């Protein structure tokens, strides 16, 4: 939960920077260019609509931004990747608002820290201009503007849990609940109910499930059996895609626990390998697991000898740090072993 919260806040922080920079960018852009009277100024993006579609070209045709980049990407990390989501229209040229629109916005906004907010925003605007008809352009730009402004408000709301000192579980859950409710209330300022459901419905359902699960687990008045029963009921109330995701996570956790138990057992490597393959693990993966087990066993043996030698060093000696580094260099050869030894030392 904490990792999700930190990631969530990181994204909203980025959007705050984007929003701060975009006004300056487009203000300067408008000062340097003569804006044609036919252009549409939304307050965030200024776009020139595509020519009006004739009746034949709009007959049953749907429009969509592409899944692949239509020009050379500026970031190596984006090379070979597909664009998340898409902005689409129906066969009447009307904008379809769904999760794909938000995914498309977020895909380009995620590059703002590397390319700069100006470039990220310009790319969204360029795809809108290039691939959507006029009316859908206006709707998409207005939606993008509201999305950025909402992210600004959302960032402020999400700061509350981070400004607190050490909290009890109940207080922490209360702050998360307050933040979620505040976020939902803020959306009403920027989106219609239909837009909100289309863009955030699945996320809200997932967040509600997570909070209700945590609140249920923290309830000391319920037995473990009651909690398990109510948790199962919560899962059954979710949409199929979320149910599948939760079940996969649960399966992965169970598999990981089983694997850890096997690795900690006294079975030799050949027996363990055979059991892994018998349980459905591929030969390649089983070989990798055994190799890691052997490497861990080797490291543990070397580290034990290293600790014995380290104990003989005089920590009060002026050259203690140098002697310790020399000792590590003697026992640990690879960079991975040296890093693991330093981390292990922190725990001893």
Per-residue pLDDT tens over the stretch 162-173: 544 555 677 788
What 8-state DSSP symbol labels residue 46?
E
The verdict on pTM exceeding 0.75 is: no
Residue 12 main-chain phi, psi, to 5 deg: -70, -30
Per-residue pLDDT tens over the stretch 192-244: 999 999 999 999 999 999 899 988 888 888 898 999 899 999 999 998 988 88
* Cβ atoms within 10 Å, residue 323: 16
Question: HEC string of 190-222?
Answer: CCCHHHHHHHHHHHHHHHHHHHHHHHHHCCCCC
| Domain boundaries defined on the chain | 2-158, 165-236, 265-346
Per-residue pLDDT tens over the stretch 41-51: 334 444 444 44
Per-residue pLDDT tens over the stretch 57-72: 455 789 999 998 888 7
Q: Contact, 150 vs 190, CB < 8 A? A: yes
What 8-state DSSP symbol labels residue 45?
-
Sign of the alpha-carbon torsion through 318, 322, 325, 331: negative
Nearest 10 degrees: Cα torsion 176, 178, 181, 182: -110
pLDDT at position 58 is: 55
């Amino acid at each position: 939960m904490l990792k999700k919260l930190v990631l969530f806040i990181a994204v909203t922080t980025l959007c705050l920077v984007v929003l701060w920079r975009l006004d300056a960018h487009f203000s300067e852009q408008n000062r340097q260019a003569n804006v044609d009277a036919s252009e549409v100024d939304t307050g965030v993006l200024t776009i020139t609509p595509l020519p009006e579609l004739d009746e034949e070209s709009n007959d049953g045709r749907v429009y969509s931004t592409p899944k692949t980049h239509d020009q050379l990407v500026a970031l190596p990390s984006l090379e070979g990747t597909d664009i998340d989501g898409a902005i689409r229209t129906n066969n009447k040229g009307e904008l379809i608002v769904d999760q794909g629109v938000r995914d498309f916005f977020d895909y380009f906004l995620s590059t703002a820290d590397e390319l700069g907010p100006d470039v990220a925003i310009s790319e969204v605007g360029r795809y809108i201009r290039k691939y959507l008809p006029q009316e859908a352009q206006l709707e998409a730009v207005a939606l993008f503007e509201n999305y950025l402004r909402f992210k600004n408000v959302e960032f402020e709301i999400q700061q509350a849990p981070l400004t607190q000192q050490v909290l009890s579980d109940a207080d922490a859950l209360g702050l998360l609940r307050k933040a979620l409710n505040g976020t939902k209330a803020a959306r009403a300022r920027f989106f219609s109910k239909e837009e909100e459901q289309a863009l955030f419905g699945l996320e809200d359902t997932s967040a509600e499930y997570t909070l209700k699960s945590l609140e249920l687990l923290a309830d000391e008045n319920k037995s473990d059996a009651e909690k398990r029963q109510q948790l199962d009921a919560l899962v059954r109330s979710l949409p199929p895609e979320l149910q599948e995701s939760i079940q996969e996570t649960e399966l992965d956790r169970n598999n990981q626990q089983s694997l850890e138990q096997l690795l900690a057992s006294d079975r030799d490597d050949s027996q363990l390998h055979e059991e892994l393959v018998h349980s459905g693990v591929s030969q390649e993966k089983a070989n990798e697991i055994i190799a890691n087990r052997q490497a861990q066993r080797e490291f543990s043996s070397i580290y034990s000898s290293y600790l014995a030698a380290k104990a003989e060093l005089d920590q009060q000696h002026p050259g203690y740090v140098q002697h310790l580094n020399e000792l590590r260099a003697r026992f640990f050869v690879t960079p991975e072993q040296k890093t693991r030894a330093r981390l292990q030392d922190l725990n001893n």
